[in-house]
Chain A
Amino acid sequence: MSQVNLTINGIPVQAKAGMTILEAAKTVGIDIPTFCHDPELAKVGACRICVVEVAGARNLPAACTVPVAEGMVIQTETERVRAARKTILNLIWANHPQDCLVCEKTGSCKLQDYSYRYGVSGSIYKGQKKEIPFDDTNPFFFRDLNKCILCGKCVRKCHDINGVGAVDFMWRGFKTMVTTPFDVPIEESSCVFCGMCVDVCPVGALTPKQGLGQGRSFEVDKVFTTCPYCGCGCTLYLNVKNDKIVGVTPNFEGPINGHLCVKGRFGWDFVDSPDRLKTPLIKKGGQFVEAGWDEALDLVAEKFKEVRAQYGADALGGFSSARCTNEDNYLFQKLLRVLGTNNVDHCARL
Chain B
Amino acid sequence: MSHRRILFCAGTGCISSGALKTRDALVSELEKRGIRDQYEVVLSGCHGFCEQGPLLIVHPEDTFYCGVQPEDMAELIDEYLLNGRVVERLLYKDPVTGERTSDHMKIGFYAKQKRLVLHNCGVIDPENINEYIGTKGYEALKAALKMERTAIIDEVKRSGLRGRGGAGFPTGMKWEFTFKTPGDKKYIVCNADEGDPGAFMDRSVLEGDPHAVLEGMIIAGYAIGADEGYVYVRAEYPLAVKRLRIAITQAEEFGFLGSNIMGTGFNFKINIKEGAGAFVCGEETALLASIEGERGMPRPRPPFPAISGLWGKPTCLNNVETFANIPLIIREGADSFASVGTERSKGTKIFALTGKINNTGLAEVPMGMTMREIIFDIGGGIRDGKQFKAVQIGGPSGGCLPAELLDLPIDYDSLTQAGAMMGSGGLVVMDENTCMVDLARYFLTFTQNESCGKCTPCREGTKRMLEALERITEGKGESGDIPMLEELANSIKDSSLCGLGQTAPNPILSTLRYFRHEYEEHILEGKCSAGVCRNLVTYHIDAEKCTGCRACTRVCPVEAITGDKKQPHEINIQVCIKCGACMEKCKFDAVILK
Q: Is A in direct contact with B (CB under 8 Å) within the complex?
A: yes
Assess A45 versus B455: contact at CB under 8 Å? Given A124-B484, A127-B464.
yes
Bound-state Cα–Cα, A56 to B495, Å: 15
Question: Across the interface, do B451 and A174 meet the contact criterion of CB distance under 8 Å?
Answer: yes
Chain A CB within 8 A of B348 CB: no
Instruction: In the complex, identify which listed stretch (A61-69, A220-228, A299-307) lies at the interface while the others stay far away.
Output: A61-69
Question: Across the interface, do A171 and B453 meet the contact criterion of CB distance under 8 Å?
Answer: yes
Bound-state Cα–Cα, A287 to B455, Å: 64
Contacts of A46 on B, CB cut-off 8 Å? 454-456, 497
Question: Across the interface, do A172 and B491 meet the contact criterion of CB distance under 8 Å?
Answer: no
Bound-state Cα–Cα, A65 to B495, Å: 13
Question: Across the interface, do B295 and A169 meet the contact criterion of CB distance under 8 Å?
Answer: yes
Min CB distance B277 to A, Å, is: 11
Nearest residue (CB) in B for A151 is B456
Min CB distance A37 to B, Å, is: 11
Q: A125-B488, A172-B295, A174-B462 are known contacts; what are 18 more A-B pairs with Cβ within 8 Å? A: A44-B299, A46-B497, A59-B496, A62-B300, A67-B302, A80-B494, A83-B490, A87-B495, A91-B457, A125-B464, A127-B464, A150-B456, A152-B454, A169-B295, A169-B453, A172-B452, A173-B451, A174-B459
The answer, among A87, A126, A172, A176, for a CB contact under 8 Å with B457, is A87
Min CB distance A135 to B, Å, is: 20
Nearest residue (CB) in B for A125 is B464
The answer, among A49, A92, A176, for a CB contact under 8 Å with B453, is A176
Bound-state Cα–Cα, A67 to B301, Å: 10
Question: Across the interface, do B497 and A94 meet the contact criterion of CB distance under 8 Å?
Answer: no
Chain A CB within 8 A of B449 CB: yes
Question: Across the interface, do B459 and A51 meet the contact criterion of CB distance under 8 Å?
Answer: no
Contacts of A175 on B, CB cut-off 8 Å? 453
Chain A CB within 8 A of B72 CB: no
Assess A150 versus B453: contact at CB under 8 Å? Given A59-B494, A124-B484.
yes
Contacting residues of chain A (176-207) with chain B, CB-CB under 8 angstroms: 176
Min CB distance A173 to B, Å, is: 4
Chain B CB within 8 A of A149 CB: yes
Residue from A88, A95, A126 having most chain B Cβ neighbours under 10 A: A88
Q: Give per-residue flags for B150-192: 1 if the beta carbon is below 8 A from chain A beta carbons, else 0.
A: 0000000000000000000000000000000000000000000
Chain A CB within 8 A of B278 CB: yes
Assess A48 versus B457: contact at CB under 8 Å? Given A87-B492, A94-B464.
yes
Contacting residues of chain B (448-474) with chain A, CB-CB under 8 angstroms: 448-457, 459-464, 467
Contacts of B47 on A, CB cut-off 8 Å? none
Min CB distance A290 to B, Å, is: 59
Chain B CB within 8 A of A322 CB: no
Question: Across the interface, do B460 and A94 meet the contact criterion of CB distance under 8 Å?
Answer: yes
Bound-state Cα–Cα, A290 to B166, Å: 81
Question: Across the interface, do A174 and B494 meet the contact criterion of CB distance under 8 Å?
Answer: no
Question: Across the interface, do B453 and A48 meet the contact criterion of CB distance under 8 Å?
Answer: no
Contacting residues of chain B (291-324) with chain A, CB-CB under 8 angstroms: 295, 297, 299-300, 302
Contacts of B455 on A, CB cut-off 8 Å? 45-48
Chain B CB within 8 A of A128 CB: yes
Question: Across the interface, do B464 and A150 meet the contact criterion of CB distance under 8 Å?
Answer: no
Bound-state Cα–Cα, A95 to B467, Å: 13
Question: Across the interface, do A173 and B464 meet the contact criterion of CB distance under 8 Å?
Answer: no
Contacts of A92 on B, CB cut-off 8 Å? 456, 460
Nearest residue (CB) in B for A51 is B495
Question: Across the interface, do B495 and A60 meet the contact criterion of CB distance under 8 Å?
Answer: yes
Min CB distance B421 to A, Å, is: 12
Chain A CB within 8 A of B434 CB: no
Min CB distance A181 to B, Å, is: 14
Chain B CB within 8 A of A244 CB: no
Contacts of B463 on A, CB cut-off 8 Å? 127-128, 173-174
Assess A87 versus B487: contact at CB under 8 Å? Given A48-B496, A59-B493, A59-B494.
yes
Bound-state Cα–Cα, A264 to B361, Å: 67
Question: Across the interface, do A95 and B460 meet the contact criterion of CB distance under 8 Å?
Answer: yes
Bound-state Cα–Cα, A169 to B463, Å: 19
Contacts of A67 on B, CB cut-off 8 Å? 302
Nearest residue (CB) in A for B489 is A87
Bound-state Cα–Cα, A126 to B484, Å: 12
Min CB distance A76 to B, Å, is: 14
Chain B CB within 8 A of A84 CB: yes
Bound-state Cα–Cα, A289 to B463, Å: 68
Chain A CB within 8 A of B502 CB: yes
Chain B CB within 8 A of A334 CB: no
Q: Give per-residue flags for B424-462: 1 if the beta carbon is below 8 A from chain A beta carbons, else 0.
A: 000000000000000000000000111111111101111
Question: Across the interface, do A48 and B495 meet the contact criterion of CB distance under 8 Å?
Answer: yes
Contacts of B464 on A, CB cut-off 8 Å? 91, 94, 125, 127
Chain B CB within 8 A of A43 CB: yes
Question: Across the interface, do A84 and B302 meet the contact criterion of CB distance under 8 Å?
Answer: no
Nearest residue (CB) in B for A177 is B453
Bound-state Cα–Cα, A139 to B451, Å: 35
Chain B interfacial residues counted at CB < 8 A = 35
Question: Across the interface, do B456 and A43 meet the contact criterion of CB distance under 8 Å?
Answer: no
Bound-state Cα–Cα, A67 to B303, Å: 9
Min CB distance A128 to B, Å, is: 7
Contacts of A60 on B, CB cut-off 8 Å? 494-495
Contacts of B451 on A, CB cut-off 8 Å? 172-174
Nearest residue (CB) in B for A65 is B300
- 27 A–B pairs (Cβ distance < 8 Å), ordered by A: A47-B455, A47-B456, A48-B497, A59-B493, A59-B496, A60-B494, A87-B491, A87-B492, A88-B491, A88-B495, A92-B460, A94-B464, A125-B484, A126-B467, A127-B463, A127-B464, A128-B467, A152-B454, A171-B453, A172-B451, A172-B453, A173-B449, A173-B451, A173-B459, A173-B462, A174-B451, A174-B460
Q: Give per-residue flags for B475-513: 1 if the beta carbon is below 8 A from chain A beta carbons, else 0.
A: 000000000100110111111110000100000000000
Bound-state Cα–Cα, A290 to B498, Å: 68
Question: Across the interface, do A48 and B459 meet the contact criterion of CB distance under 8 Å?
Answer: no
Min CB distance B486 to A, Å, is: 12
Bound-state Cα–Cα, A273 to B334, Å: 82
Contacts of A127 on B, CB cut-off 8 Å? 463-464, 467
Question: Across the interface, do A173 and B494 meet the contact criterion of CB distance under 8 Å?
Answer: no
Contacts of B496 on A, CB cut-off 8 Å? 48, 59
Q: Give per-residue flags for A1-44: 1 if the beta carbon is below 8 A from chain B beta carbons, else 0.
A: 00000000000000000000000000000000000000000011
Contacting residues of chain A (78-114) with chain B, CB-CB under 8 angstroms: 80, 83-84, 87-88, 91-92, 94-95
Bound-state Cα–Cα, A313 to B456, Å: 69
Bound-state Cα–Cα, A45 to B461, Å: 16
Min CB distance A126 to B, Å, is: 8
Contacts of B490 on A, CB cut-off 8 Å? 83
Question: Across the interface, do B459 and A88 meet the contact criterion of CB distance under 8 Å?
Answer: no
Question: Across the interface, do A59 and B502 meet the contact criterion of CB distance under 8 Å?
Answer: yes
Nearest residue (CB) in A for B461 is A91
Question: Across the interface, do A173 and B452 meet the contact criterion of CB distance under 8 Å?
Answer: yes
Min CB distance B314 to A, Å, is: 17
Nearest residue (CB) in B for A89 is B456
Contacting residues of chain B (538-571) with chain A, CB-CB under 8 angstroms: none
Question: Across the interface, do A173 and B450 meet the contact criterion of CB distance under 8 Å?
Answer: yes
The answer, among A45, A152, A176, for a CB contact under 8 Å with B497, is A45
Contacts of A47 on B, CB cut-off 8 Å? 455-456
Contacts of B299 on A, CB cut-off 8 Å? 44
Bound-state Cα–Cα, A169 to B453, Å: 9
Residue from B278, B449, B453 having most chain A Cβ neighbours under 10 A: B453
Nearest residue (CB) in B for A152 is B454
Contacts of A88 on B, CB cut-off 8 Å? 456-457, 491, 495
Nearest residue (CB) in B for A85 is B495
Contacts of B492 on A, CB cut-off 8 Å? 87
Bound-state Cα–Cα, A65 to B496, Å: 13
Contacting residues of chain A (226-268) with chain B, CB-CB under 8 angstroms: none
Nearest residue (CB) in A for B496 is A48
Question: Across the interface, do B448 and A174 meet the contact criterion of CB distance under 8 Å?
Answer: yes
Contacts of A94 on B, CB cut-off 8 Å? 460, 464
Q: Give per-residue flags for A110-131: 1 if the beta carbon is below 8 A from chain B beta carbons, else 0.
A: 0000000000000011111000
Nearest residue (CB) in B for A91 is B460
Bound-state Cα–Cα, A171 to B484, Å: 28
Question: Across the interface, do A173 and B453 meet the contact criterion of CB distance under 8 Å?
Answer: yes
Nearest residue (CB) in B for A50 is B495
